[in-house]
Structure 1
Amino acid sequence: MSAIPRAALLLGLAGLLPFVWGALTLLSDGAYAWGIETLGGRFVGPYVQLFYGTVILSFMSGVLWGFATKASGKQAATCYALSVIPALWAFFMAGGGPVSAGVNLIAGFLGLLILDWQFWRWGLAPQWWMHLRGLLTGVVVACLLVGVLT
């Protein structure tokens, strides 16, 4: 098993900031007030989480597409087809209000983790991939749950 490369870990953790910030503004009136005043309404509460979550699911489709380039034949076709699912999920399922959108994004990130595992199992993702993806997905889901449950 390989350690997660430092750059990948740091950038992955930095990518959690909008999710964590959104959860914090839901749990703290002071953080919410500061965020509204300084950043605007789009960058607090579930709004930042939901918008950023759709962006990240789409980004992860691109990552999986990159992994698919390592496959060949029928497996490549399967991988390319699977790689577009997170972006399509975000496009079709991240509307309808903050609670349903949050629930659907949680499902999308958990589904993405299954796709990550499959690409990793096929040897298309780096050895360290699931360690990183498990950590990041756990934090994302926990933060989105704050938005769904508050």
Structure 2
Amino acid sequence: MRRIPAAPLLLGLAGLIPFVWGAATYLHDGLQAWGAAQLGPRFVGRDMPIFYGSVILSFMSGVLWGFATRASRGQAAAGYALSVLPALWAFFMTGGGPVSDGMNLIFGFAGLLLLDAAFAHWGLTPPWWMPLRVLLTVIVIACLAVGVFL
């Protein structure tokens, strides 16, 4: 496993806070009541990771677009085309209710990991990219699964 630089690791882990918070407040009524009183009802429970997950999939489209700029010709065209898929997935596959939205985001993040692997295979990502993405994706999917399956 390649050593992940501190800044991307810490920022990536910080980016997990809304997912973990949403799962925790979904599982614990007292925490949900406190969070709703302090932050508002949109920022607790299983809806929280869905809203945030849609934003993150869109953000990751931008990250992949940036990696595509390192490619040339046909590979660049493929990279640009593939990079927009996570944002389109989030846009078209959410809005049907918390369980279907959660499932669709789980599939979206799993698909994003496949795109990450493709971009890494093409040599467009830093060497530490896949260890970071696997770690973050496992936690994101686990948090989304709380709202879908529990």
State the TM-score, normalized to the length of structure 1: 0.98
Segments of 4+ moved more than 3 angstroms: none
- Tell me if the contact between 2:2 and 2:131 (Cα under 8 Å) persists in the aligned partners: no
Task: Please state whether the residue corresponding to 1:113 is helix, strand or coil.
Answer: helix
RMSD (CA atoms): 0.7
1:39-54 alignment runs, 5 A limit: 39-54=39-54
AA aligned to 1:147 is G
Aligned residue in 1 for 2:117:
117
Unaligned stretches of 5+ residues in structure 1:
none
Aligned residue in 2 for 1:149:
149
Is residue 138 of structure 1 aligned with residue 138 of structure 2? yes
Task: Please state whether the residue corresponding to 1:123 is helix, strand or coil.
Answer: coil
Quote the Cα distance in structure 2 between the aligned partners of 1:8 and 1:87.
Answer: 21
Quote the Cα distance in structure 2 between the aligned partners of 1:130 and 1:94.
Answer: 26
Identity value in percent: 69
Quote the Cα distance in structure 1 between the aligned partners of 2:130 and 2:6.
Answer: 15
Quote the Cα distance in structure 1 between the aligned partners of 2:136 and 2:40.
Answer: 26
State the TM-score, normalized to the length of structure 2: 0.98
TM-superposed CA distance for 1:29, in Å, is 1.0
- The size of the alignment, in residue pairs, is 150
Q: Deviations over 1:58-100 (max 9, x none)?
A: 0000000000000000110000000000000000001100000
